[in-house]
Amino acid sequence: MKITYFQETDTLYIEFRAVEVAETKDLDENTLLDLDREGNICGLTLEHASERADIPHFSYEQVAA
C-alpha cells in the first residue's frame, strides 16, 4: 500500500495494490474509486483532503493474526 499527498492540489491518493486501473468510479464529487479488471479496489482519491482527513496525523499499525 502506498499513500501520497499532493499538497499543491490538496489531493490524497491511497494505492492499495500496484495494478493497472481499468475503471474509475465517482463515489461523490470529491471521491474517486479505482478498480482493476476484476472489479477489485486498487486505489482511492480524496479531493480537498485537508478538509476531510487529518493529514498531518497519520499512523499505521499492523495487527498480528
Neighbour tally for 17: CB within 10 Å: 12
* Per-residue CA distances from 62 to 12, 34, 37, 59 (Å): 21, 24, 28, 10
Note the pLDDT of residue 8: 94
Q: Are 52 and 2 spatial neighbours (Cβ–Cβ below 8 Å)? A: no
pLDDT in tens, the chain (65 residues): 999 999 999 999 999 999 999 999 999 999 999 999 999 999 999 999 988 887 777 777 778 87
Note the pLDDT of residue 65: 78
Note the pLDDT of residue 53: 80
Q: Of all helices (H) and strands (E), which one includes residue 50?
A: helix 49-52
Note the pLDDT of residue 58: 74
Note the pLDDT of residue 31: 97
